[in-house]
Structure 1
Amino acid sequence: MGPSTLDRFLARDRLIVILSLLSAVAVSVAYILAGGGTGMSSLGMSMDTGPAGALIAGTPDMVSPVVWTPGYAVVIFVMWWLMMVAMMVPSASPVVLLYGALQRDQGAWPALEFLLGYLAVWAGFGVAATLIQGALSAGGLVSAMYMNLATTYLAAAVLIGAGLYQLSPLKAVCLDHCRSPVEALTRHRRTGHAAAFRMGLVHGGYCLGCCWTLMALLFVGGVMNIWWIVGIAVYVAIEKLAPGGRRVAKVTAIILIVGGLVLLAGSLSTGA
């Protein structure tokens, strides 16, 4: 195979991976904008509550226990998983493409298998988020209308907890992994059957360790609040890809902690 023919094959494989990444994000975004299978309009809810979310903005709300059927639990899981795909794949795409380049002699499949492993980790997060939302809903602690926490005490705890985690050693280790993909892929190299899938699991695990508390913030602003979804997705990309991402993480920690304390103080003063 001549150099020009090889270049065409490599370009084709890269195009397949890029189109797969774009398709995954596009389908996920469209699904969330359509309401995530819940029968509610995410755009409508976001416009009603604004960037602050229903709880913080004081938007009139409906909070009541929700009866969860197995079918409804599946709907919520799919919503969470595809929301994670829409939010996390854009910032993970450079690593997927890098892994594909390192395995370019095997075609497009290693990169796609790596992506499947990465998405499997976030499917696991989707299961956990669904179980937590179900438990909170059963206790009347989550809004049935806007899917946000029903009390400012809980919201403040999530904000403060997320801020403290931003300063933790585990966060630092996971963020360093995500920001240095070449070193990470070399250090955690896997061989043998399903090696690419297992590499995707490893990278996804570090990514989850880096971002899970940021995703928990959706319970504060509203699980399907487009303002918060886009804001967190953009922030994650900045934290992972921008030159000053490490410093941004520390500044964000202070903002989250102060925001949580202000919200808590307001709750104590009003007795809400």
Structure 2
Amino acid sequence: MSGHLADDGRADPATEVFVAHRSLLFTVAYEMLGSAADAEDVVQETWLRWAGVDLGAVRDRRAYLVRITTRQALSRLRTLGRRKESYIGPWLPEPLLTAPDVAEDIELADSLSMAMLLVMETLTPTERAVFVLRDVFGLGYDEIAEAVGKNPAAVRQIAHRARAHVAARRPRGTVSANETRDALDAFQRAAETGDLQGLLDILSPEVVLLGDGGGVAQAVQQPVVGAGKVARLLAAGLGRISAASLRPAHVNAHPALVLRLNGTIDTVVAVRIDNGLITGLYAVRNPEKLSRMRQETTLRR
């Protein structure tokens, strides 16, 4: 984004407004797309459209910017859908290194988890946009209607349908950061020592492991289901890794583990926890998806 400067050297009002809302717009786009690279492109497209707007005619600047971002993200979501169809192996959202304070906004943190983003993947593009704008960002039905090109009554129905769909698939009950950390600590200890029983104790019998290598890095091509299979696979793979290379981090506002090999990030492991046990393991290995792990991404509502 190249801003415009007023005569006194300060950014002009349009640029100031955009910069003030940039993190919000990125968060909206990322929640809709699960891809930081695509979310950045959407924010850039939003800026290009915003730069040509007559500020005097804009009543609610935040809502107007969110509307542009939503429209751009919706068209990109359809393109992304086609890309995912030809993606090699499971597709996982792009992990973001986040500041610990993002976790303090419980609703935002909940919507950013890998598990929740994968649930949102099962919605249609319009359902996802409506769900994100209504349930995560609290926009009114009228505002959402303008953003998605539907009437408010239709949006209300879509929101109801999307909410029911998500409720049926989301993790059961809220999981505290401490619970996640305890599960990850146990997982890390078991993984570093190749302790098969230790892994079995923390994994749900129906645990699902998904690996995203994108055809670039080696990863499981199909979901691995069941505690026994997952534990054996992890014990075999992680037993060869030195303890120093597996480290905790805040990923998508939740505790996760980051594996470094020779100082380079190799894998980001996020988890889904239900009733104290790990029910989902998400290992992102595609190097193209690991660039946002080098520095914290600011996310806000």
TM tier, shorter chain? under 0.3
Where is the helix percentage greater, Structure 1 or Structure 2?
1
What TM-score, normalized to structure 2?
Answer: 0.26
Greater relative contact order structure (CA < 8 Å, 6+ sep): 1
- Structure number with the higher strand fraction is 2
- Normalised by the length of structure 1, the TM-score is 0.28
